[in-house]
Copies of this chain bind each other. A is one copy, B any other.
Amino acid sequence: MCRFVLYLGEPVALETLLAKPVNSLINQSWDAELRDPLNGDGFGVAWYAHEVGPQPAVFKSHTPAWNNRNLLQLGRVTKSNCVLAHVRAASPGVVVSESNCHPFTWDRFAFMHNGDVGGFAAIRRSLLASLSEKAFSVIEGQTDSEHLFALFLDCLWARRESDTLEAISRALEETVNRVHRLLWDKNITPNTQLNLAVSDGRQAVAIRCATGDLGRMPTLYWHEGRRYICENGAGRMIDYDVCSETVIIASEPLSDDPGWESLEPNSMILVAEDHQVSLRPLRCCGSIDLGKAAIIT
């Protein structure tokens, strides 16, 4: 089922998100709050180093996060103000490899997915056919997630502006729409879990979305405050809910401190460049008559 965390805020050591808290992402690689708590089919972490350039650095491995010493070493000495990290539970039959680990990146964008596109095998080919040359060339692996990323990029590039928060959020919604159109075209009843998170290093958008069996909608939380620290396994957000200098979006709370909020089903969270948070319902999926879903422009 996968779990992920996205961080935008005060420069933080990666380990403060990945290793130190009681429910760190590494903890979630084997003991997530899920019926199947295991996410041991690889992991990835992307972090931005703006002083070097806009592209995030990425570290991935097909091995479990809980026993990767390199990850702990990296986590100790690497700080960033924008971090995306993910632990993978591979869908049955999909290859376990570095290529299939999230986050997927292109240029300054990093993208993660928690969930599953039911019927993806049946629409993969038409999805690929619908992509621009550029988006097609982005795909390296076989996951539905990476194909969603390519779709997202196409939706983004099609917009007049592609670097605003609005553009990113609209492109995400359109991605969801387009996936459902592809399913509809193949007479496949939608059964998707589409918790998606994307960032360009300065702003971020995430959605919590599912169609079909809504009982399978994965969890997604957010947390804001001045900065997030961790002492003796106890993580907490200093000045939580008082400001938005630091925002965390995560599949599960990393810690037991107050302020973690669950994202409403089929809604979106936007984090602007100044880290101000806004929430709004998704303008797609859920109860929308997909036969009539309009392309959001």
What residues of chain A have their CB less than 8 Å away from a CB belonging to chain B? Answer: 13, 30, 38, 40-41, 47, 49, 52, 57-64, 66-67, 69-70, 73-74, 76-78, 90, 95-99, 121, 125, 128-129, 133, 136-137, 140, 142
Contact = CB atoms under 8 A, between A and B. Distances in A.
User: Which label, helix, strand, loop or mixed, suits the secondary structure of the A interface?
Assistant: mixed
A57 B96 CA distance: 19
Contacts of A52: 13, 76-77
State the oligomeric state as a number of copies: 4
Contacts of A62: 63
A76 B98 contact: no
A66 B39 CA distance: 12
Given A90-B67, A129-B129, A142-B140, A73 B59 contact: yes
Contacts of A78: 57, 78
Contact of A40 (B30, B61, B73): B30
Lowest 6 CB-CB distances: which A-B pairs, in order? A49-B77, A57-B77, A67-B96, A57-B73, A52-B77, A59-B70
A110 to B, nearest CB: 12
